[in-house]
Chain A
Amino acid sequence: MASFDTKKATEIHRELHSHLPSEPALRVKALESLMVEKGLTTTETINAWVEAYSEEIGPKRGAQVVARSWIDPTFKVRLLADAAKAIEEFGFEGDATGHLKVLENTAELHNLVVCTLCSCYPFSILGIAPNWYKTAAYRSRAVRNPRGVLTEFGVSLNKDIQIHVWDSTAELRYLVLPQRPAGTESLSEEELAKLVTRNSMIGTDRNLSTQTAGES
């Protein structure tokens, strides 16, 4: 049973700090060995989760959803109305998408997502969060100087464009719907999905290229 005791948790952190090796790889290895020996998981199960999040569960899912919304206006309506349900059409629902919301960028508006209190992220649709998203640098500044943050990412925003910053303080999770680049009318849904960068779905990228080079 969990104690729900702040003081006890604090003390255990301090004990771990004193008794465990400081090298992360050694700590992780010890935990994995122990959990396997106790029968709480298996090496194969850990391998399976690594592979699931290396390949299938990643930002290409979000990109597919974005591309579909660009070519199918009725899907876009469903996505904006209830994203948690709309992504079920792809089988992409899962970890942290139970209350997913989609935020649409327009010519006048740019959305930026952050979690200042921890690192909430819609895992099932974007995969594991990039490290920068979880750093103090991003979490502290996204709500206070979003234009500065965007400049750092190479996005210069016209003064007339309003920024909406979304701090994920509850169990709602946010996915930014970037604008479809001009001149892509002839591209297929699959080709369009390749233009959508992970960062554009967090809000640290805006003007998508019409070439499929953008990987972040």
Chain B
Amino acid sequence: MDGVHDLGGKQGHGPIDVHEPVEPFHADWEARAWALSKGIGGTPPDITIDWWRHVRETTIPADYLTRPYLDSWLETDMVTLVDSNICTVEELATGKSTTPASHKTDSITVADAIAANRTYATKFDRPINAKPKFVVGNKIVAQQNASTGHTRLPGYVRGRSGKIHAHHGAHLFPDAVARGIEKAEHLYTVVFLAQELWPEANDSKDIIFLDLWESYLDPR
């Protein structure tokens, strides 16, 4: 999706706040928002990371760029909850449920949370029969046209030439998973020269690595 989220290489977004306080949370609501995203995670289970990311991409562009990050993150949670009929917009506006509790959840302790976190080291690689189309060192060109839905092929490398740096086997393919289809594709780390990407980088020897799925790439 050619949305405002695809920020790589865009200009005019101003300075970085390098003096941000080091504390993890800068306001109480930030802590609650982050913890809520953990505490209600996986409700319901068909909300995949790819669908979730796509939902975030459908945020009103002005909101995406201006609302505090965790606020925008939580709005994404809210949209997935409404979309999956867990609650309604009206309930979110009032904070009151119009139906009796449908679940019973036991409270967890800090130790439980830390232990639960250890089980979240999710693997996204999957077995696949198809042989990889590329090997390390192959020259590729990234596709010019990407999916109109969710995709992880950023605009700034489309149509640009790069080289296969590493092969990671097959990983779940976000463009499909975000549509509710479980499918895996070979995943590669692809390296692009800054010179190839940016007109002002003529004399740069810096390089940029992206992790890209096979169908994003054509041989060159």
Residues of A within 8 A of B59 (CB): 13
A9 and B18: CB pair below 8 A?
no
Residues of B in contact with A, size category: 35 or more
B13 and A136: CB pair below 8 A?
yes
A39–B106 Cα distance when bound, in Å, is: 9
A9 and B39: CB pair below 8 A?
no
Residues of A within 8 A of B141 (CB): none
Residues of A within 8 A of B154 (CB): 116-117, 167, 169
A45 and B39: CB pair below 8 A?
yes
A116 and B6: CB pair below 8 A?
yes
A190–B146 Cα distance when bound, in Å, is: 48
B75 and A139: CB pair below 8 A?
no
Cβ proximity bits B153-183 to A, threshold 8 Å, 1 near / 0 not: 1101000000000001001101000111000
A119–B114 Cα distance when bound, in Å, is: 22
10 pairs, CB–CB < 8 Å, chain A vs chain B: A2-B48, A2-B80, A6-B149, A29-B29, A38-B102, A39-B101, A42-B39, A152-B15, A167-B154, A215-B22
Which chain B residues have a beta carbon within 8 Å of chain A's beta carbons?
Answer: 1, 5-11, 13-18, 20, 22, 24-29, 31-36, 38-40, 43-44, 46-49, 51, 53-56, 58-60, 63, 65, 67-71, 74-75, 77-80, 82-87, 89-97, 99, 101-110, 112-114, 117-125, 149, 152-154, 156, 168, 171-172, 174, 178-180, 187, 189, 197-198, 201, 205-213
